[in-house]
Amino acid sequence: MVRHIDRRTLLAASLALAGCDSQPKAAFQGIDLTGAAYARELKLSDPAGQPRSLADFKGKVVVLFFGYTQCPDVCPSTLGELQLVKQELGKDGERVQGLFVTVDPERDTPELLGQYIANFGPGMTALRGNPEQTQAAAKEFKVFYAKVPSKDGQSYTMDHTAASFLFDPQGQVRVYARYGQGPKALLHDLKLLLAGA
């Protein structure tokens, strides 16, 4: 015998079951990567030659971006936006760490990286590896990059994934911030992570 259940009973049961779920997810404006099984490890060197890993920055919200110093637009605009957002956050901006990982270790020497990242204010660090380490880091983060020779073959540019990865203070990847979302979206998501979302 089939029993009829009215809509109010069904709605109440649905709401009760939804309440059994863990905490509701934060409403990030970027893509929510909470629980992702990648972007967990990074072992490269800073411009001083000091080995660094994501664990070094626990306690801070980390914004990690892959690029290269001779990038004409995407890289400087992304790092510039992060600098503006850190300023907008005031004192909380000190709790945000920017990491710039070069995909062009051939040209991006430690000295050049140090000079380049200094243009974007405090709380920013550049990271570099040899070609094999760079490839491993890109694979861990599912990031694409490729050398594109100029027509005359005398130089090259780099095609690369244009997005930032946001990590919470516990060192867990949480957000994939696509290029072009703008500083308001980044500010929104950083505020959530700083508040413990």
Q: Label each residue of 39-91 as H, E or C.
A: CCCCEEECCCCCEEEHHHHCCCEEEEEEECCCCCCHHHHHHHHHHHHHHHCHH
Whole-number Å distance between alpha carbons of 158 and 164: 17
The pLDDT of residue 24 is 52
Query: In the chain, what are the domain boundaries?
Result: 46-194
How would you label 65-82 residue by residue, b for 16+ Cβ within 10 Å and e otherwise? bbbbbebeebbeebbebb
71 is in an annotated binding site: yes
The pLDDT of residue 190 is 98
The pLDDT of residue 197 is 82
Tokens (6 digits) for 48: 């001083």
The pLDDT of residue 10 is 38
Radius of gyration of the chain (CA): 21
Query: Which helix (H) or strand (E) element contains residue 160?
Result: strand 156-160
4 is in an annotated binding site: no
pLDDT tens-digit series, residues 116-168: 999 999 999 999 999 999 999 999 999 999 999 999 988 999 999 999 999 99
Whole-number Å distance between alpha carbons of 69 and 110: 11
The pLDDT of residue 79 is 97
The pLDDT of residue 21 is 44
20 is in an annotated binding site: no
The pLDDT of residue 1 is 42
The pLDDT of residue 153 is 83
- CATH number of 46-194, picked from 3.40.50.150, 3.40.30.10, 3.30.830.10, 3.40.50.20: 3.40.30.10
How would you label 160-187 residue by residue, b for 16+ Cβ within 10 Å and e otherwise? bbbbbbbbbeebbbbbbbebebeeebbb
What is the reported pTM?
A: 0.85
Three-class secondary structure of residue 137 per DSSP? helix
The pLDDT of residue 5 is 43
Per-residue pLDDT of the chain (197 residues; tens, 9 = 90+): 444 444 444 334 443 444 444 445 669 999 999 999 999 999 999 999 999 999 999 999 999 999 999 999 999 999 999 999 999 999 999 999 999 999 999 999 999 999 999 999 999 999 999 999 999 999 999 999 999 999 998 899 999 999 999 999 999 999 999 999 999 999 999 999 999 98
